[in-house]
Amino acid sequence: MAVSQQEQAIPDAPKPQVPALNTVVPGSGTTAPSTSATAPAATPAADAFQPPVGSALPSSPAPVQTPSPAAQPGDQPEPDSDFKPYFIRSTVNFVEVPFTVKDNKGKLVPGLTWRDVRIYENNVRQKMLVFTSDPFPLSVALVIDQSMSNSDMNKVNNSLGALQGAFTAYDEVAVFTYNNTPKKQTDFTAGQSARLSAVVEQSKTSGRDQMFYDAGSAMSQNIMINNGADSHTNPLVNGNHGQGGVSGQQNVPREVHPLNDAILAAAQAVVKAGKGRRRVVYVISDGKEYGSVAKSKDVIKYLQTNKIAVYATLVGDSSVTGLGFVEKLHLPLMMRDNILPVYANATGGEIVASYRQKEIENSFAEITKEVRTQYTVGYNTTAFGLGETKMRKIEVKVLRPNLQVIAKEGYYPSSSEIHVRGNLQDPATPATTPQP
C-alpha cells in the first residue's frame, strides 16, 4: 500500500552551529576564516627608505633582501645564507658611486657611516640619498692573457684552480682569453657552476716561447737584392731592414698583445648584465699592450659610461718592484707598456701584483673581497643635460685622517639615459628603495 505525502518523513532542520565553550584565551581574540583576499603585508619601514633631498640619512644601511634562486643564471647550488646581496633600483639620473677605503698600511677600513663621507661632482657637493656597505652580486668578465711567456703562463695555469672559490652562487662570470686576438670562451654562467670550472680548465695554454734577438743573426741583416740596387724600387725590399736608419738601432718586430681589444670585448659583454649588479672586468695579465685596434682612451670612456670597473692580477716582471729599470733600457722585444694601472685608476678598480704562484692564487680572493666590501653612495645629479658628452668628475672624501679613498675618476652620461630622462623623469625624483 502506498504511503501518502502526509505520512512521508520530514527531514530535521539544520542544527545550530554553537562554538565550543571555554576554548578562547582572554585577550587573544578568535581566528575566524575570511573569504576575502588576504591583505599584503605591510612594507618594513626601512624598505620605504626615500629620504628627500637634504634630509638626514640613517646611521646604518637598509636591510638587504635575498633574490629568488630561480632568478640566478645557470645551474648552481643553494645560496650561502651568510651572503645577502644588496640591490638598488634607481631613476635614470641617479649616480651610484662604489668606493674603497684603506689605511696607510693598505688594509681595508670598515665601520664608516654616511656622516664620515662627502661626495662631489664637478667640485660641487652632492646630497646623498643612499649609503651602504652591504655587498652586491657580481657580474665579472674574466680576461686571461695567453700571450705571456711560458714561465708566467705556467704560474697562472697552476693558480686557476683557486679562482672559482672566490665567487659565490649569486655571482655570474664570463670568460675571455686573448693571444693575437680576443676570444669569448663562455657567456655568463653561475659563479659556482660546473660549466665555469670546465671553461677555466680549457683556458689553460702553454703561452709563448721567448724570442731572443741576436745582433749577428739573419734577422738583423739587411735584405740585399742585386747588391742593393732594388732596395729603393722593389716594394718587397726594406732597404733599412735590421737597421734603424742613421741611428743604427735595430728594427725588430714587436709582439702583438691586444689588451685594449680584450678589455673592450669583455666590457661589451658585462654591460648587458642585469641591473643591481657590480660590473667588473677582471684581467689576469702582465699588462703588456701592443697591436690593439681600440685605443685605451676610448675603452676607458666606454667603461666610465657604463659603470664598469677594471681589476687585475698583475703577473710577470711587471709585478716585481724594482724591475722598472728594464723598461728604460728599451731592450728589443721587451714591451715597455703596463697599461693596467691606467684602467684601474680611471674606473675605481685595483691591481694586485703577484709574482709567485701562491701570490696569484691569493689575489683572486683578495680582489673579490675588496669588491664586496666597498662602500656605495648614491645621489641624484642635477646636471643632466640633453646632448652632454663631457665627463663629470667625481671625488669622494672621508672625514678621517690618513686614509686612502679609491673611486672612479668620473662618469659619462649615456645617450639612452639622457633621452629617457628628458622625456619621462623629473630630476627631483629621489632614488627608490633598495629592492631585489
Please state at what angle helix 259-270 crosses helix 296-305, rounded to 10 degrees: 20
Residue 34 has pLDDT above 60, yes or no: no
Q: What is the CATH number of the domain that holds 357?
A: 3.40.50.410
CB atoms within 10 A of CB 431: 22
Does residue 8 or residue 389 have the better pLDDT?
A: 389
Residue 339 lies in a domain: yes
Residue 187 lies in a domain: yes
Both 275 and 326 in a single domain? yes
Both 146 and 225 in a single domain? no
> CA 376, CA 184: separation in Å to the nearest integer?
31
Residue 284 lies in a domain: yes
Residue 59 lies in a domain: no
> CA 83, CA 86: separation in Å to the nearest integer?
10
Pairing assessment for the beta strands 117-121 and 404-407 based on DSSP bridges: unpaired
> CA 266, CA 141: separation in Å to the nearest integer?
5
Both 325 and 249 in a single domain? no
Confirm whether pTM is higher than 0.85. Answer: no
| Cβ–Cβ < 8 Å for 250, 332 | yes
Both 302 and 339 in a single domain? yes
> CA 324, CA 352: separation in Å to the nearest integer?
16
Domain end, chosen from 329, 349, 372, is at 372
> CA 60, CA 131: separation in Å to the nearest integer?
8
Residue 131 lies in a domain: no
pLDDT in tens, 384-423: 655 567 889 999 999 999 999 999 999 988 654 433 333 3
> Out of 60-64, 98-102, 288-292, which region has the weakest mean confidence (pLDDT)?
60-64
| Cβ–Cβ < 8 Å for 287, 273 | no
Residue 137 has pLDDT above 80, yes or no: yes
Residue 191 lies in a domain: yes
Total domains in the fold of the chain = 2
Residue with grid cell 619621462, as numbered in its chain = 424
Both 286 and 236 in a single domain? no
Both 177 and 194 in a single domain? yes
Residue 236 has pLDDT above 60, yes or no: no
Cα-based distances in Å from 151 to 155, 180, 334, 356, 435: 7, 19, 16, 11, 47
Residue 275 lies in a domain: yes
Both 285 and 338 in a single domain? yes
Both 262 and 313 in a single domain? yes
Residue 60 lies in a domain: no
Show the cell assigned to 293.
685596434
Domain assignment of residue 230, given as a range:
221-253
Which secondary-structure segment (H or E) carries 325? helix 325-329
Cα-based distances in Å from 357 to 209, 316, 360, 390: 20, 11, 5, 42
Domain end, chosen from 372, 404, 426, is at 372
Domain end, chosen from 231, 253, 275, is at 253
pLDDT in tens, 325-363: 333 333 344 444 689 999 999 999 999 998 889 999 999
Q: Look up residue 42 and give its amino acid.
A: A
Both 290 and 356 in a single domain? yes
Both 299 and 230 in a single domain? no
Both 247 and 321 in a single domain? no
Both 161 and 236 in a single domain? no
